[in-house]
Structure 1
Amino acid sequence: MRVVEVTAYGGPEVLRMARRPEPEAGEAPGKVRVRLNAAGVTVADLRIRAGLYVHETGDLRPPFVLGTDFAGKLLDPAPGPEGSLPAGTRVAGFIPWLRELTGHGTYAEVVQVDPEWLAPVPDDVDFTAAASVPLAAVTARQALDRLLLTPGATLLVTGASGVVGRFAVQMAATAGLEVVAVGYEGDESELKVLGAKHCVTRGEPADVLRQLLDHVPDRVDGVFDGALVGPPMLAAVKDGGVFAALAPDRAPHPERDIRVETVLAEPDPRALTTILRQVADRELITRVADVMPLEEVAEAHRRAEAGRRPGRIVLLI
């Protein structure tokens, strides 16, 4: 089968097409096979490829196959969050790549996955949209749950124009939080439609803080750091507030009784099932920026790192 291997840590040029044996039924005890139609290109993929998580990957070294998000069809029957899933079921999910550290990701035609990573995809959600959802939406959901903010609290969402940030804005607004969204200039109207009460233009942390204080002079109760700004954004949080970091190397040291939560999403099939239904019902909005063939993965990474087009880049497999 076709796969994409990371041949060394570095830029997009280290990605190459390769062939590996297709896994057989029962080859990995407790896992089932999914034939993929689509795989999302996530920030985690970019950071792993660049070597930013080398301390977390232990003895695992290139060549390995990247990829977390996926959507496709089951090749083997599997237990599901609400009953059994027969072979042929349309499913989506994400591989907890940094936890598993097998080097087998979703830039491949067939993957072996734990059934606990899977959720069924509603008929009116296509594979490319489904592949844009799992890691981003579950990360947003679990981070907001960890923040423990109550309705009426203020939340600053950095990276609100991005995939994870857009989900965080929508979920936080639905939960009754007052959201201040940090996004690209020109995205203000859309972010307000998604639920933001105020918008500030992304830029240097000092500029973001200045704009924030124009809207919330007393600073915010919490920060959801979708842009991985890290320690400079701690200044936006009032004493005793809370900060959600989405990468270990971007988590600030606590100060002023601020609670810092580092959130690395764990698969949650029930939550993902609900989220995909919300996408089908247009209660949650996802966005696909580009759909590209697997063979153009290096260009997909370049576009993802450029970062300006909102939405997930999805690889067609």
Structure 2
Amino acid sequence: MRVVEVTAYGGPEVLRVTRRPEPEAGDEPGKVRVRLKAAGVTMADLRIRAGLYVDQMGGLQPPFVLGTDFAGRLLDPAPGPEGLLPVGTRVAGFVPWYEELTGHGTYAEVIWAEPDWLAPIPDEVDFTAAASLPLAVITASQGLEQLGLPPGATLLITGASGVVGRLLLQLAAAAGLQVIAVSYEGDENELKVLGAKHCVTRGEPAEVLRKVREHAPDGVDGVFDGALVGAPMLAALKDEGCFVAIAPDRVPASERGIRVEFDRARPHALRIKEALDKVAARELVTRVADVLPLEVVAEAHRRAEAGRRPGRIVLMI
């Protein structure tokens, strides 16, 4: 089968399409096989490839296969969140790459998956949309829980134009939070439709903080740092507020009684199913920026690093 290997740490040029043996039924007790149709390209993939997380990866060294988000069809029956999923069921989920640290990711034609990673895809949702959602929506929903803010509280989201930020914005607005969204210029109207009360154009941290203070002069109750700004955003918070970071190298030290949390997403099949059902019902909006074949994975990484087009880049397999 085709896979994409990281051959060394570096730029997109270190990615190589090669072949590995296809998994055989029963080789991994407790896991099932999924033949993939689509895989999302995430920010974590880019940072792993670049060597930014070497210290968190134990003894794992290249060559290895990247990828967390996936959508495809079951090759083996599997228990699902609401009953048995037969062979051929369209499923989506994500591989907890850091927890597994096997080097077997989703840039591949067939993967092994734990049944509790898998959610059935509704007929109304295509493979590309399904592959754009799992890691991001779990990161967003889990982050919202970690923030623990009551209705009416003020939440600052950096990176609100991004995949995770847009989903968190929608979930936070539905939970009754007052959201200040830090976004690309030009995205303001769309983000307000999705639930933002105020929008602030991204820029240098000092300028962003100045604009945030115009809307929250006493500070905000929580910060979700989807843009990986890190410590400078602590200044936006009230004393004893909460800061949630989504990258291990962007977790600031606490100050002024601020609670600092690291949001590392954990698979949750039922939550992914609920999110996919909401997408099918047009109650939750996900966005695909580009769809590219597996063979041009290096170009997919270049486009993801350029970053301006909102939405997930998806590899078709």
The TM tier, using the shorter chain, reads: over 0.9
Equivalent residue, structure 2, for 1:37: 37
Shift of 1:248: 1.2
Residue-by-residue CA offset, 1:203-229 (whole Å, 9 max, x unaligned)? 111011011011111110000111111
The unaligned stretches of length 5 or more in structure 2 are: none
For 1:128-277, list aligned pairs within 5 A. 128-277=128-277
Equivalent residue, structure 2, for 1:98: 98
The answer to whether 1:113 aligns with 2:113 is yes
For 1:228 and 1:31, the matched residues in 2 are separated by 34
Equivalent residue, structure 2, for 1:10: 10
Equivalent residue, structure 2, for 1:70: 70
For 2:25 and 2:207, the matched residues in 1 are separated by 55
TM-score using structure 1 length: 1.00
| Matched residue type, 2:279 | V
Shift of 1:168: 0.7
For 1:74-85, list aligned pairs within 5 A. 74-85=74-85
SS in 2 for 1:129: helix
Residue-by-residue CA offset, 1:73-122 (whole Å, 9 max, x unaligned)? 00000000111100100000000001100000000000001011110100
The answer to whether 1:28 aligns with 2:24 is no
Equivalent residue, structure 1, for 2:123: 123
The unaligned stretches of length 5 or more in structure 1 are: none
Count of aligned pairs between the two proteins: 317
Residue-by-residue CA offset, 1:288-308 (whole Å, 9 max, x unaligned)? 000000001000000000100
| Matched residue type, 1:257 | G
| Matched residue type, 1:90 | R
For 1:236 and 1:100, the matched residues in 2 are separated by 35
Residue-by-residue CA offset, 1:120-177 (whole Å, 9 max, x unaligned)? 1000000000000000011000010111100000000000000000001000000000
For 1:237 and 1:217, the matched residues in 2 are separated by 10
Residue-by-residue CA offset, 1:238-257 (whole Å, 9 max, x unaligned)? 10100000011101100000
Shift of 1:26: 0.7
Shift of 1:34: 0.2
Equivalent residue, structure 2, for 1:278: 278
For 1:296 and 1:193, the matched residues in 2 are separated by 34
TM-score using structure 2 length: 1.00
The answer to whether 1:308 aligns with 2:316 is no
Percent sequence identity is: 75
| Matched residue type, 1:316 | M
SS in 1 for 2:274: helix
RMSD (Å), alpha carbons = 0.4
For 1:281 and 1:256, the matched residues in 2 are separated by 43
For 1:99 and 1:55, the matched residues in 2 are separated by 14
For 2:265 and 2:148, the matched residues in 1 are separated by 16
SS in 2 for 1:55: helix
For 1:111 and 1:52, the matched residues in 2 are separated by 25
For 2:173 and 2:313, the matched residues in 1 are separated by 25
| Matched residue type, 2:93 | G
